[in-house]
Amino acid sequence: MTNLGGDYFNCGACGHVCGPGQTCFDGTCFSVCGAERSWFCNGTCVDLLNDIRNCGNCGHACAAGQTCRGGVCGG
């Protein structure tokens, strides 16, 4: 049985291979970023634990006046 959610050679679908420098997470190929940055969002490596525009997930912005700590928006 193949894990389509995390298999580099079958990412999201049987036979769908991620590209060089990518990893498979939740069925999607992502580029691997350096240790300081956690994820590849819209062409840029971001820190999902601290980025107010990508807090916890790509594109999840915190509300005005909030900060992102540990991937959670808060005051």
Q: Token digits for 36?
A: 């300081």
pLDDT tens for each residue of 22-44: 888 888 887 777 766 667 777 77
pLDDT at residue 54 above 80?
Answer: yes
Which residue from 13, 62, 54 is spatially nearest to 33, judged by alpha carbons?
54
Q: Token digits for 34?
A: 């350096």
> Which comes out higher in pLDDT, residue 26 or 63?
63
Return the residue matching tokens 């994820």: 39
Determine the Cα–Cα distance for residues 18 and 7; give it in Å rounded to an integer: 9
pLDDT at residue 17 above 80?
Answer: yes
Q: What is the structure's pLDDT at 55?
A: 95
pLDDT, average across residues 54-60:
92
Task: Specify whether the CB–CB gap between 28 and 11 falls below 8 A.
Answer: yes
